[in-house]
Structure 1
């Protein structure tokens, strides 16, 4: 098993080259390595400002667009493994196939949603590449998925330090 990235481009205004997706996959591996996370799936969706505005309003109660949103998966409840067994049986498996179904299951870490227009504007504002800004937002979102936050100065310093270390390792400096 390993960390995997599933992505979807739901905005039409800007083409996302395959090389950029390869870079995001690299950042996911580096971030996972830095945090001791070897397995899991991250779902990335690239959207426009209108979509992220709507999501920000709906889920955070903030009526304006933002650059990145992260939705971490909740801890597993007792019933989730049972559901997986039922799904294995529904697809032609039997009770003996339960362990095989579990081995193939990749635990979702959560969803990251990034506004491409906002990432482009911020890259211009900060004087670095779009690739660096998208990488920064992706790593930022990933760290939120695994429990980091920046509610106070100490947390912010820790989280942003981790982000910069990962980006530097990938060669995405300012």
Structure 2
């Protein structure tokens, strides 16, 4: 799966984590591993322009999704029979998201992870225009985020434990000496 990220927002963000959560969501949704996704982070004025142009709504917003290949019943994103496809673009606005994160009482990074999953789900055909759709999409979004965070936290804990074990065992730097203590 190819995920490209481009930060034109002027806000420093952990791009690796954004790609990681997008990849996790796509894998969990069984999207074809040959699919391509683009994530673009933009400034407020650029997002406001996109919001007006494509949604005919004034002002900036947090996330917009632009699907490239129409999804229909004959061509599913989880089908391995289909050739490589471009899912589309997820556009995030960190400045806008920063205010939402503050209001929600969590870090900007958490808000961007949520918005990334939200945008990916839109690309896969999920919507929240109707109450039933909203419940389904937001439940799935929350489930994917919780699983990704759990996996990420376990990986970080394993990494910290390995580093501590290496320090205690005196194996730090052994690979520099051919794997043996000299």
**Greater Rg, structure 1 or structure 2?**
2
Q: Which runs of 5+ in 1 are unaligned?
A: 77-104
Moved over 4 A (4+): none
Q: Which has the higher contact order (CA 8 A, sep 6+)?
A: 1
Counterpart mapping for 1:1-174 below 5 A: 3-12=1-10, 14-16=11-13, 20-39=14-33, 40-75=35-70, 106-171=84-149
Number of positions where the alignment pairs a residue of Structure 1 with one of Structure 2: 138
Q: Which runs of 5+ in 2 are unaligned?
A: 72-82, 151-182
Q: Secondary structure at the residue paired with 1:32?
A: helix
RMSD: 1.7
Deviations 1:107-148 (A, max 9, x none): 210001111101111111100111110000000000000100
- TM-score, length-normalised on structure 1? 0.74
1:9/1:46 contact within 8 Å kept:
yes
- TM-score, length-normalised on structure 2? 0.71
